[in-house]
Amino acid sequence: QVRLVESGGGLVQAGGSLRLSCATSGRSFSNYVMAWFRQAPGKEREFVAAISSGIAIRTYSNSVKGRFTVARDNAKNTVYLQMSSLKPEDTAVYYCAARGGTMITRAGANYEYWGQGTQVTVSS
């Protein structure tokens, strides 16, 4: 069993930055692919970014590429999402997710574990 706890959300003005953290419990964090998803009110959940286990291969949605950076610290069992140049359309609840193995996937259904989410609100 893996438990995920997100933190770092909040209210920020457009153009600002935030760093989200996702602390995990359980064994073998380094063996999990970690991802961030988000869900805005009235919209479906969407993929944001993911980082592989092992060699840190990263992938991003087109909407955040160049503005967001995903990173992991295996010693701290934590994955991060550094968000810069934030836009009002980035407003959403952000979720951390984990899946065993090495394959990165953008499909939320392929992730076994989820956090409770953290709210990010970007004002214009």
Q: How large is the average pLDDT for residues 14-30?
A: 93
Residue 34 above 90 pLDDT?
yes
Band the pLDDT of 3: cuts 50, 70, 90: very high
Q: How large is the average pLDDT for residues 51-77?
A: 94
The pLDDT value recorded for residue 101 is: 87
Residue 69 above 80 pLDDT?
yes
**Amino acid letter at 43?**
K
CA–CA dist 32, 13 (Å, integer): 33
Average model confidence (pLDDT) across the chain = 95
- Top pLDDT among 55 and 16 is at 16
Query: Percent of the chain at pLDDT above 70?
Result: 100
74-109: per-residue pLDDT in tens? Answer: 999 999 999 999 999 999 999 999 999 888 999 999
- Residue 43: helix, strand or coil by DSSP? coil
